[in-house]
Amino acid sequence: MQTTSQNAVENPTITVGAFVAGAPPSLPLSFLAGARGAESRVLRTPRIQKLGLALAGFPHYVHEGRVQIVGQSELQFLGQLSPAERREAVAKLELEKISCVLVTKGLTPPAELVEAAERASLPLIQTPLVSSVAIVAVTEYLEEALAPRELRHGVLLDLYGLGVLIEGKSGVGKSECALDLIMRGHQLVADDLVEVRRTRPGQLTGSPPDLLREHMEIRGLGIVNVRELFGASAISGPKQIDLDIMLQRWEEATEVERLGLDARTVQILGVAVPHFVLPVSPGRNLATLVETAVRVHLMRLRGYNAAQGLVARHREILGERKTPRGAADAGVAQAGDDGDGDGR
């Protein structure tokens, strides 16, 4: 089953200004020069690059859209050059194609690099972290910030440790089902709008928009604060999406699974997510059905499929019924052979 979303963003970018402003406390960043270009230069990938070869005169493989690292080795190399040679080394860099330069270990770059960055409005940034730590911190930060994402209408819950995304048309009962599940001890991640991000290949993470965090909309009641009503234990943070459940009105459910022999999936941001379709009609206990679907999924993860087990048992019984008749025929034939032998 294939789904699409008008809210999908497959190749997000982040400006250098937003990169610096949104950096976590574990990644301190500050501008040394070129802050004027912070909003016009963007980062497109979490991969970083070191400028060592480029400063040594081989700038051909400096990639756009990346954080360029200058550490102690690069600065020691520049320090051995004369001022004229440093200006020449910096001039060979295509500064207009570089998104930003990050100087690590709190080191002070040479004046020639600072002046060139200021003239070109190239953000020159400093961090007290050593290069190895800075590379890991920047990569993790940008993997999160640049993850492909989309907004999906639904409810994301933590059930039995799994992230379960409940989807369906407006008014089908998603929030009411989620409320019942919360009262059974499960946790809410997001209601109404779920921001889904592909944080790693094959992995989706869901979280609520900041404005809607910890809140639900229940028809007839309006907006409710789940934390205030049920306590902090009813709320979960961002959660990996392990299972997708689609609620469909009974008259619209045309692809309902009857046996469950084959596991279905739905594509979300290019990731195949295990998928159930549950028909909705008056009298059906949706919360119980959702809990059961999650338990079925957990059993499948452990290698057990009830439908396949039933089919295997059916074949086994059919085989047992055929075996006695065949064995009896063989016995009669054997007895006849033995009788002929005795007669002779």
Positions marked active-site: 153, 174, 192, 258
Question: Which residues of the chain form beta strands (DSSP E)?
Answer: 14-15, 30-33, 42-43, 48-50, 67-70, 100-103, 124-126, 149-159, 162-168, 187-200, 203-207, 215-218, 222-225, 239-240, 243-249, 264-268, 271-280
With a CB cutoff of 8 Å and minimum separation 6, the contacts of 156 are 163, 164, 165, 166, 188, 189, 190, 194, 206, 208, 239, 241
Orientation angle between helical segments 111-119 and 83-91, nearest 10 degrees: 40
Pick the closest to residue 154 from 196, 122, 118, 123 (CA basis).
Answer: 196
* Dihedral, 246, 7, 196, 279 alpha carbons, nearest 10: 0
